[in-house]
Amino acid sequence: MCKYLLGLLVTGAASGQVLPDDETVLPDKNNTYAWENQEPIQGRNTPLDLNTADEQDLEQLPGINANMADAILWYRRTYGDFCTLYELAYIPELPADVLHRILPFVTVDHHRDPGWPTLAHRGRWSITSRYQQKFVRPQVSEPYEGNDLRMWSRIEYTSMDRLRVALTMDKDPGESLLRTHRPTVDYTSAFVYKTSTGGVVRQWIVGDYQLSFGQGLTLWTAFSAPSEARLPKTARHIQAHTGSDENRFLRGAAATVSFGPWQVTPFFSLKMNDAHLTSDHTFSRFVDGGYHRTASELADRKTVRVTLAGANVAHVFRWGEWGIVSMREGYDRWWIPPVDKGVPTSPSVKYTQATGTYCTVRFRHGDLYGEQSFTPHRGSALLAGFALRSEAFTLDGVFRQINSTYRNRYSDIIRTSDSDGACRAALFRLRFMDAHRVSTSFLSEWMQHTGLTGNSTAPYGEYNWGIREELGFWSGNLYTSAYGTMNTESGEHRIRIRLHATTQVTPRWRYQARLEVTDPGQQAGYLVYHDWRYQAGNLTVYGRITWFHTHDYAHRIYAFENDVGNTWSVPFFYGEGAKVYIGIQRKWRCFQLWFKYGHMLQTTESVALNRVTDEGKIQLRLLWPRR
């Protein structure tokens, strides 16, 4: 199996070339290429079981929003498992035609725990290969070892949404495909993941996996949107690692054991992490980029052995969940953080640990949630919030406080927020909705950065605000939004205004357009794009043309893009220029093909030197047995 995947990757020649250093501005390659997401509901091998689906699964169904998903989960918690799909008609928050829209994608399974012989015979194999080629190679200071191809391959077996086995190999642009001392690709990942709805062991995984507990304050390695975007979160506890991040995952084993309302999830991980060494026995920081293209990047590759162990104990009751999670992470070298103004930013350690407790209480029209976390050296963090929902409005409020000695690299609240740790913040979001498909949202956040002990970071305040108006009409929707942020210390005020329209012109043609303006005034920037999609049966053709003009990198603008397969990316634009891309998707019964080509026209010469101007992406997927 490994030889087969390696053969797929060897399709591209592996010769040393000089490549553009376009990823330097965003070290996390997940922001520049794509996130490998779970397969959407419409592309699943089997329908979604309403008796086991969680909130994230339900929101992927066509026409199901967050309020409807909460109503379905509340009904299931109150009255037990669904006996038939027609019970959806008794949920008042759901429209009358909801069953007609989601019927092809859902089911109610009363025999949800098939045995191993059934899983072995009713599964499906898939082989997926993706290639990305960059065509422009300006000179850089340090040559790359490999060529400019990105190659990714996965072979996977799935059965009845209960068993999943996968092996993945990945080579980034600039990395050498085969080295004499290590005849394999740069990154290899594998896992075996099994779930069950009955019995003592509800789920277990061996290999590469992700963990998520509570609201992410103590331990959350899985991908999530920025912390303010979605609270309260829905923790899945254990997930298979399907992303392209080569460092932020766990490698070992984990399981969830159920004893009535109590669930215990022990976990263990042992793997090598990229880190910057300062001596034979010390390192200064972890390197999360995942690139191993140059001699300096290869020197940081898998230099520190990281061992992590812990457990989560949760009590699931009718109206919510309470739990406690504890973990300890050890290193085979001393972690000596860098010095700022002659003072270390944090003490030298050979291990870290964190313990937290969380609670979520769900009501008929809202939620209350909170989490408290502690680390050594009196580090503490607190998060508390509420969510109120009705047919006319939704109101969310979140408060978080993190002191200067709290250090936890697995905290999702710190990772996805703009604060460097020590802060106090409060956020409120209000949304009105009416029967005419008109919604208005208001957002207000105040953040007080309290400064870090022992360095030069001074306290300062930050205020963020936002307003969004959305109008739905017979063939699409139109929304306008404005967001701003103000620094109380410098007085700097940043504003972003967006106008976006989407319409279904015909049953086969869809069109959308966007105008976004940043910082109106002397340093104003803008982005305009026109996007279209044509779908006829199993053939889909889509494209976009984008014009942009911004003052500098600090005023960059992000725009979401669909990539090949079930991936997506959020590239950024700065300087002056235009970008055009076109994509094709074709599906057969046992074979799927995606192709995308993008061309960047840049008029700012200094910017063009460090940006990719042309690139092509192609993905092939083979499925068997045929269905």
DSSP 176-238: -S-BTTB-S-SEEEEEEEEE-SSSSEEEEEEEEEEEE-TTSSS-B-S----TTTS-S----EE
**Backbone phi, then psi, for 240, in 5-degree steps?**
-70, 145
Cβ atoms < 10 Å from Cβ of 520: 12
Which pLDDT score, from 0 to 100, does residue 179 have? 58
Which pLDDT score, from 0 to 100, does residue 432 have? 87
Residue that is written with structure tokens 């460090």 in the block: 610
- CA dist., res. 368 & res. 77, Å (int): 17
- CA dist., res. 275 & res. 187, Å (int): 16
Sequence-ordered alpha helix ranges (H) in 435-554: none
Q: Residue 377 forms beta bridges with which residues?
A: none
Which pLDDT score, from 0 to 100, does residue 28 have? 35
Please tell me whether residue 364 adopts helix, strand or coil conformation.
coil
Q: Are strands 106-107 and 48-49 parallel, antiparallel or unpaired?
A: parallel
CB 67 within 8 A of CB 387: no
Cβ atoms < 10 Å from Cβ of 405: 18
Please tell me whether residue 107 adopts helix, strand or coil conformation.
strand
- CA dist., res. 200 & res. 115, Å (int): 15
Q: Residue 500 forms beta bridges with which residues?
A: 479, 514
Ramachandran bin of 42, using left for φ above 0, alpha for ψ from -120 to 50, beta for the remaining angles: alpha
- CA dist., res. 316 & res. 168, Å (int): 35
Which pLDDT score, from 0 to 100, does residue 399 have? 92
Question: Would you call the peptide bond into 226 cis, given omega within 30 degrees of 0 as the criterion?
Answer: no
Please tell me whether residue 31 adopts helix, strand or coil conformation.
helix
- CA dist., res. 438 & res. 536, Å (int): 31
Which residues of the chain are under the pLDDT cut of 70? Answer: 1-46, 110-112, 136-142, 178-184, 225-231, 338-347, 415-421, 435-437, 450-459, 474, 521-522, 603-613, 626-627
Q: Which helix (H) or strand (E) holds 255?
A: strand 250-259
- CA dist., res. 548 & res. 516, Å (int): 9
Q: Residue 627 forms beta bridges with which residues?
A: none
CB 442 within 8 A of CB 429: yes
Sequence-ordered alpha helix ranges (H) in 428-550: none
pTM for this structure?
0.83
CB 356 within 8 A of CB 375: no
Using alpha carbons, select from 360, 362, 361, 365 the residue that is nearest to residue 389: 365
- CA dist., res. 134 & res. 147, Å (int): 10
220-251 burial: b if 16+ Cβ within 10 Å, else e: bbbbbeebbeebbbbbbbbbbbbbbbbbbbbb
Using alpha carbons, select from 373, 427, 70 the residue that is nearest to residue 229: 427
CB 612 within 8 A of CB 136: yes
CB 539 within 8 A of CB 585: yes
Question: CB-hemisphere CA count at 13 Å for 580?
Answer: 2
Length of the chain: 627
- CA dist., res. 190 & res. 570, Å (int): 26
Residue 566 DSSP one-character state: T
Q: Which helix (H) or strand (E) holds 100?
A: helix 98-102
Which pLDDT score, from 0 to 100, does residue 529 have? 96
Q: Residue 543 forms beta bridges with which residues?
A: 532, 582
CB 30 within 8 A of CB 243: yes
Which pLDDT score, from 0 to 100, does residue 291 have? 85
Tokens representing residue 131 in the block: 């290639």
Residue that is written with structure tokens 């054991």 in the block: 257
Using alpha carbons, select from 330, 272, 269 the residue that is nearest to residue 301: 272
DSSP-assigned letters across all residues of 427-454: EEEEEEE-TTSEEEEEEEEEEEE---TT
Using alpha carbons, select from 483, 358, 349 the residue that is nearest to residue 429: 483
